[in-house]
Structure 1
Amino acid sequence: MAAAVRATILELMKYGLLEEASKPNLYRNALLHRDEVDRMLGWLELALRIDDIRGLAFIVVAAAPDRDDDEWSHPLVRRQRLTLEQSLLVAILRQQFVAHEVEAGVGAGDARVALDDLIPHLQAYLGDLGSDAQERKRLLTLLEQLKGHGIVSDVDQQERVTIRPIIAHLANPENLTNLVQALREATGGGDIGPTSVEEADE
């Protein structure tokens, strides 16, 4: 048990999350030894969260009654703010992720989206750069940045990315919806489809 808990905590501390699809044994350890893992993380003012529907275990900063959520700090966790373009792409990807779960069921894996399907969404809000090569470069740069946050996979041979399930827990749906709506109004209200980025019912 001690070895299983140690291995699970080390993996969580290294990457911040465990996905059942890629680390089934460690994810199972997190489920089996949830209380022990959570107790040990608690010493570091961290906590374990498990989304068993999507097969995801991840670390969050433990809530404290005297902590302001807008001004929290933690010696082991760095809060990273996204740029406007990154936030917009997160909102677009979340739309795609929710649409996938609506169609295939909450917890369904392999939420993939083609690069060619993402480019028109970015163009609608950020403008047309004038060439396909520049549009593709902008998208690939943003996807590479979001990959560092664990939101998407590498681009595959079919020119698609997989949206990772942590996206359901990373950002406030209301804030993302407001961002998309504000950008829609700023660009003249162009219609590129639904604006809702709310989480699917769990």
Structure 2
Amino acid sequence: MAGIFDRMAGNKVVEEEADLAGDTEHFEAIDEPADERRTQQQLRETVQEMLKYGLLEESHKPNLYRIARTHPEDMAGVLEPLDLAMGTDEVRGLVFITVRQKETAEQDDWSHPLVRRQRLNLEQSLLIAILRQHFIAYEQESGTGASLALVAIDELIPQLQVYLGDLGSDARERTRIITLLDQLKGHGVVSAPDTHDRIIIRPIIAHLANPENLQALLAWLKAQAEGGGTPKSADNEVMP
């Protein structure tokens, strides 16, 4: 027969097991909302990153890109009150911010106060047109969605000279192209130069500007150059 001390010890074990079971239920109860909060936090981080840079690339932010792609309705719910929407390019691994279009034909595509206007001067617009040609040629050769569209800086200099003229100095020519590329890097169009003085053309360039407008710009600049005119560096608004 078990003595009183055995019975006391047995009761203590039962109580500890009951407490442990209660703690497990408690942890299970708080784990579920904690997971839910983590999901909401990930969505917020994804939207914040998109608003900060205007886009997400799968190759650079795979986790945030996956969240945006697997939660389109949640993303839309966050962006809709801001009158914004999410564009998707699955082949190139891109999601990007767009402005929700209204029914009025006069609506300015980039009039939203939270979206930076893509105001580019003539030289920047020209370089985008040249880079887009390189990017299209690269995709035709390597396939749509290939992500290493490399071009050497020295290869871009003579192409700019065709339209903008020769500055008369290799150093000045190089300074001009480096400055323009650095400006476009801020728009997410190109990477910083690597050790071999090459830059990567980012896939967002496929959505940045209307190709017909860029072709018209190149044709006009070429006509000005052939006619002996010097194009002015006026502001041009490159529209997606």
Q: Is TM-score (shorter-chain normalized) higher than 0.5?
A: yes
Moved more, 62-71 or 159-168: 62-71
Q: How does 1:87-126 map to 2 (within 5 A)?
A: 87-126=125-164
Structure 1: distance between partners of 2:161 and 2:67? 44
Q: Closer, same or farther in 2 for the Cα pair 1:72/1:56, shift >3 Å?
A: closer
Cα root mean square deviation, aligned: 1.4
C-alpha deviation, 1:72, in angstroms: 5.3
Q: Is the 8 A contact 2:99 2:110 kept in 1?
A: no
Structure 2: distance between partners of 1:19 and 1:71? 23
State, as a whole percentage, how many aligned pairs show the same letter: 58
Q: How does 1:108-187 map to 2 (within 5 A)?
A: 108-187=146-225
Other-structure match for 2:5: none
Moved more, 59-68 or 144-153: 59-68
2:66 to 28, 36, 39: 28
Q: Is the 8 A contact 2:88 2:94 kept in 1?
A: yes
Unaligned runs of 5+ in 1: 190-202
- Residue 82 (structure 1) aligned with residue 120 (structure 2): yes
Q: Given the two structures, how large is their TM-score scaled by the length of structure 1?
A: 0.90
Structure 1: distance between partners of 2:110 and 2:53? 21
C-alpha deviation, 1:3, in angstroms: 2.5
Other-structure match for 2:41: 3
Structure 1: distance between partners of 2:175 and 2:53? 27
Spell out, residue by residue over 1:23-50, the C-alpha distance to the aligned partner (whole angstroms, 9 max, x if none).
0000000110011101210110000011
- Residue 63 (structure 1) aligned with residue 90 (structure 2): no
Structure 1: distance between partners of 2:219 and 2:89? 29
Matched position secondary structure for 1:157:
coil
If each structure's helix is expressed as a fraction of its own residues, which one has the higher value?
2
Structure 2: distance between partners of 1:82 and 1:2? 36
Spell out, residue by residue over 1:121-146, the C-alpha distance to the aligned partner (whole angstroms, 9 max, x if none).
00111001111111100000100111
Letter in 1 for 2:124: Q
Spell out, residue by residue over 1:33-83, the C-alpha distance to the aligned partner (whole angstroms, 9 max, x if none).
011101210110000011010000100111111362447521212313111
1:13 to 51, 65, 76: 51
Letter in 1 for 2:176: R
Q: How many residues align?
A: 189
Q: Given the two structures, how large is their TM-score scaled by the length of structure 2?
A: 0.76
Structure 1: distance between partners of 2:48 and 2:108? 28
